[in-house]
Each structure stands twice: as C-alpha cells, then as structure tokens.
Amino acid sequence: MKLPKTITSVIQFYSGHKAIFEKLKIDMNYYKIKSGRAIFPEKVIAERWFECLLEARPDSKSLLSFCGMPYEIENSNHTGCVDRDLLNAMGFSEFAEIQPGRQRPGCKCVIKKKQACNDSCDHGCKYCYAHKENSY
C-alpha cells in the first residue's frame, strides 16, 4: 500500500486568530517570528512537531512536507501546500505557475490556492482556501 503524502504546517497567528488561539489555549509566548502579516512560533516548535509526526509514521519521512514557514526544518521537505504532486493528483496537468516572490514569505505553493479550484471544489475540506465558509 502506498502511503499518502502529508502536508503540514505549524499554526500561524494572524490578527484575526486571537479568539481561536485563546480557545485552543495556544501559548503565544513561543510566537516571536514575524513573516509577512503572520507571526510564527520559534523554530524549535516546528522541529518538535516534525519529530512527533515521524514517531507516529516513521516510514513516511520522505512523504512529510512543510508549507509556508519562514524557516526550514532539517531533513524535511518544504514543497508548499499546493505543489505539482497535489495538482497532478487532482487532475491538473497544466496550470499557470505563480511567479517567484509573488507569494507571502515562506510560501512555496506553485499556484494561487483559489486558482486550483475556481471556487468550485466539492471535496468539503474543513480548511480550504477555495471556500470562505470552510476557512478557519
């Protein structure tokens, strides 16, 4: 059985997330790295997250990918949450790639997220840029 690729990110803080962070009891003392409009936790938090993912799925190291962080985690992939593999799996073989430097800092996505689905995706993902009603 082929293991699925896992795309992950440490949760980023934007000004509109204050209530969510409070509800989840996220310790803001670790959030010290500003990148664009977002504030990220210290790199050690992402490194620990990566270690936990590897503990849970040790055979999937090459399938774990980080998205949108202002730092790189050693021995991990940094492909972006919308990469060529994902687009090909969704049936997109041709697409207009976004120009380097036109995304927020740390973002490595190959297209704009809404461009992938034209607001018509019916997968129903809870966290999806294509549908405002599903975004948290």
Render 28-87 in DSSP notation, one character per residue.
Answer: GGGEEEEETTEEEE-HHHHHHHHHHHHHH-GGGGGGEEE-S-SS--TTSEE--SS-HHHH
Closest CA to 6 of 62, 45, 44: 62
Binned at pLDDT 50, 70 and 90, residue 52 comes out as very high
Give the mean pLDDT of the chain. Answer: 78
Of the spans 34-43, 59-68, 108-117, which averages the highest pLDDT?
Answer: 34-43
pLDDT at 121: 61
Helix (H, G, I), strand (E, B) or coil at 7: strand
Rg of the chain over Cα atoms, rounded to whole angstroms, equals: 16
Closest CA to 96 of 123, 79, 114: 114
Q: Are 105 and 70 in contact (CB under 8 A)?
A: yes
